[in-house]
Amino acid sequence: MKILVVDDEALLVKGIRFNLQNDGYEVVTGANGLEAIELARDPEVALIILDVMMPQMDGLSACSKIRESSNVPIILLTAKADDIDKLIGFDCGADDYLTKPFNILELKARIRALLRRAGSGKERSSNTLTIGPISLDLDARNAYRSGQLVELTAKEFDVIEFLMRNANRVYSREALLDSIWAYEYRSDIRTLDVHIRRLREKLEEDPAKPNYIMTKWGVGYYFRK
């Protein structure tokens, strides 16, 4: 899915882009409201992250203009936390509002929630993700193997969902830890290895000879499609 990020703070845009690309999103960027309007015309844009205070045209004006022709979900970013500012943002057509500085995990969670509600784009063409015998109900957060429900912990579900969304793409252990756990367990590679082992035991027909949850020796893990 393609996400548009528009903010005149170059370092902030770089950080958001890096984190979203690690989650498998395609990211396009702009630096002012006029660019936001132009880039938002792309029919493949599934969600917009838009700063309020920008040169040439502010984010509120850009949001209103985009709303004239598009219902794409919009998250506004602002340094102001006053309720009145949030109400103005919602009046302009924003779907959500995040105050700077923010936690990147919170931004990711809000993106997922908006995309799920929108029910649009490649990622959400349906509420299930299926590869081979393994299927995920993304709304209920249930996993199935050959149609049979498999009990996964919340973090096990996060791991398999991430790998399946990015099938055939190899991720290092460090990259997976950063993407799924953020920085909480960055120094403990074993945390990920344990989750991979448990997922194979639950989802693979033969955990010792997996067909889907694969290891790229010397590199990391990937989901084979």
Structure tokens at 138: 């993304």
Cβ 135 vs Cβ 117: under 8 Å: no
Whether pTM > 0.85 for this model: the answer is no
| Of 10 and 97, more confident | 10
Q: What percent of the chain has pLDDT over 70?
A: 89
C-alpha torsion 180→116→64→26, nearest 10: 50
Please report which confidence band the pLDDT of residue 185 belongs to, taking 50, 70 and 90 as the band edges: very low
Average pLDDT over residues 103-128: 73
Q: What gap in Å lies between CA 84 and CA 64, rounded to an integer?
A: 17
For the ranges 65-79, 141-155, 196-210, the one whose mean pLDDT is highest: 196-210
**Domains, the chain, ordered by start:** 2-118 (3.40.50.2300), 128-223 (1.10.10.10)
Residue 212 has pLDDT above 90, yes or no: yes
Rg (CA), the chain: 19
Residue 126 has pLDDT above 70, yes or no: no
Q: What gap in Å lies between CA 26 and CA 204, rounded to an integer?
A: 30
Closest CA to 134 of 152, 120, 146: 146
pLDDT at residue 174, rounded to an integer: 87
| Of 150 and 140, more confident | 150
Residue 88 has pLDDT above 80, yes or no: no
pLDDT at residue 125, rounded to an integer: 41
Q: What gap in Å lies between CA 153 and CA 141, rounded to an integer?
A: 10
Residue 118 has pLDDT above 80, yes or no: no
Please report which confidence band the pLDDT of residue 2 belongs to, taking 50, 70 and 90 as the band edges: very high
Burial environment of residue 212 by CB neighbours within 10 A (0 to 12, 13 to 18, 19 or more): buried
Closest CA to 62 of 20, 27, 26, 31: 31
* Average model confidence (pLDDT) across the chain: 86
